[in-house]
Amino acid sequence: MSRIALAAAAALVYAAGAPAQTFPSKPVRFIVPFAPGGQSDVVARTVGQKAGERWGQPVVVENKPGAATTIGADFVAKSPADGYTILLAPAPFVITQYAYPKLPYDSRRDFTPVTLLVTNPLVVTVNPAKVAAKSFQDFVATAKREPGKLHYGSPGNGSLPHLATELFRLRSGIDVVHVPYKGGAPAIVDLVGGQIAFLFASPLEVMPHVKAGKLTVLGVTSAKRLPYWPEVPTVIESGYPDYEALAWFGVVAPAATPRDAVAKLSADIVAALKSPDVSEKLAAQGAEIAGTTPEEFGQFLAREHARWSEAVKAANVRVE
């Protein structure tokens, strides 16, 4: 082979590897489909800053709230598929696929998984004055003795706590009444006040009231117990082996994003996530650190789609 041919071959090899070696070569936009504040911002900004340090490029967090996270998701779905625009995908990323009949994108087709960041369980919380249950089994027995009499709250129609409760209703056969609120805070106020009987809620939201003795936690919706409430069993342990419901945050990119860019994003975001300062900060908020490959996150999303499509159909949820 001539020197010219060798040089040309070397140039082709270099060019083929260049995108993976140089990506990212400009700022990365990290779209958060919620208003500023809250756990979504903490996760995105903490992980984004650390990933940006690895890349030597800033990660610009942009909040695009509205329409149950679908505005931000739609923005990313229609962005250039070059790896420079990514989405902080929460559990509603899957739920809205089935609750919104006129969704302007398809969350299964228009995105590619990058990594699962963190998961958060819900806890089954009751007002002891309304449900005098000492165990999760007692709670279910009470609900079955009084069909249609126990009211539960949620942050809104089609929200994760709403559908987590409906999924459990489907699994257990209990007959309970949904009371939707405009956010989690007013639902908790009414739970403490006795206007509703129980709530599937974030542990951190109810923890002060549990410590004050105003509320009781009877079950955890994750596959394992919480380290700070080790005495509280999981719903799985309590007799429902096929039940799990998690709040979570992951990262997705537009569907046609090059595989080498997705691999680079995933590897570096996971490394940032698992750095001690980042993981400790997020764990302090009650989050369980995940950090998966794109393939593992894809399998997780497939299970979520199966779970929440069933729950949305059972609850007959439609958001126009």
User: Which pLDDT tens digit goes with each residue over 192-250?
Assistant: 999 999 999 999 899 999 999 999 999 999 999 999 999 999 999 999 999 999 999 99
Does residue 37 sit in the same domain as residue 105?
yes
Q: What is the pLDDT of residues 101-144, one digit of tens each?
A: 889 999 999 999 999 999 999 999 999 999 999 999 999 999 99
pLDDT of the residue at 16:
41
Let me know if residue 93 belongs to a domain: yes
Q: Beta-carbon neighbour count of residue 222 at 10 Å?
A: 19
Does residue 115 sit in the same domain as residue 127?
no
pLDDT of the residue at 68:
87
Let me know if residue 96 belongs to a domain: yes
Which one, of 67, 36, 48, 71, lies nearest residue 117 by Cα? 48
Let me know if residue 61 belongs to a domain: yes
Which one, of 181, 124, 125, 178, lies nearest residue 317 by Cα? 178
Looking at 204, 220, 236, the residue that finishes a domain is 220
Residue 47 near residue 273, CB atoms below 8 Å: yes
Does residue 113 sit in the same domain as residue 58?
yes
Which one, of 150, 156, 166, lies nearest residue 316 by Cα? 166
pLDDT of the residue at 232:
97
Does residue 75 sit in the same domain as residue 155?
no
Does residue 111 sit in the same domain as residue 134?
no
CATH code: domain of residue 281: 3.40.190.150
Q: Beta-carbon neighbour count of residue 89 at 10 Å?
A: 28
Q: What is the pLDDT of residues 265-311, one digit of tens each?
A: 999 999 999 999 999 999 988 899 999 999 999 999 999 999 999 99
Rounded to an integer, what distance in angstroms lies between the CA atom of residue 198 and that of residue 216? 9
Let me know if residue 168 belongs to a domain: yes
Does residue 200 sit in the same domain as residue 261?
no
Q: What is the pLDDT of residues 165-174, one digit of tens each?
A: 999 999 999 9
pLDDT above 60 (res 14): no
Let me know if residue 6 belongs to a domain: no
* pLDDT range class, residue 11, cuts 50, 70, 90: very low
Q: What is the pLDDT of residues 74-110, one digit of tens each?
A: 999 999 999 999 999 999 999 999 998 889 999 999 9
Q: What is the dihedral of CA 145, 148, 152, 156, to 10 degrees?
A: 150
Amino acid identity for residue 135 in this structure: S
Let me know if residue 46 belongs to a domain: yes
Does residue 110 sit in the same domain as residue 128?
no
pLDDT of the residue at 21:
56
Q: Which helix (H) or strand (E) holds 192?
A: helix 184-193
pLDDT of the residue at 200:
97
Which structural domain range is residue 131 located in? 123-220
pLDDT of the residue at 4:
45
Q: 3-class DSSP state for residue 40? A: helix
pLDDT of the residue at 38:
84
Strands, E, within the chain: which ranges? 28-32, 59-63, 85-90, 111-121, 123-126, 151-154, 177-180, 198-201, 216-220, 246-254, 288-289
Does residue 278 sit in the same domain as residue 298?
yes
- Measured in degrees and rounded to the nearest 5, phi and psi for residue 221 equal -90, 0
Let me know if residue 289 belongs to a domain: yes
pLDDT above 60 (res 12): no
Looking at 220, 255, 280, the residue that finishes a domain is 220
* pTM value surpassing 0.95: no
CATH code: domain of residue 190: 3.40.190.10
pLDDT of the residue at 320:
65
Let me know if residue 280 belongs to a domain: yes
Does residue 192 sit in the same domain as residue 132?
yes
Looking at 220, 235, 262, the residue that finishes a domain is 220
Does residue 114 sit in the same domain as residue 128?
no
Exposure string over 16-32, b if 16+ CB within 10 A, otherwise e: eeeeeeebbeeebbbbb
pLDDT of the residue at 149:
96
Residue 283 near residue 135, CB atoms below 8 Å: no
How many domains would you assign to the chain?
2
pLDDT of the residue at 179:
97
Does residue 263 sit in the same domain as residue 304?
yes
Does residue 114 sit in the same domain as residue 251?
yes
pLDDT above 50 (res 185): yes
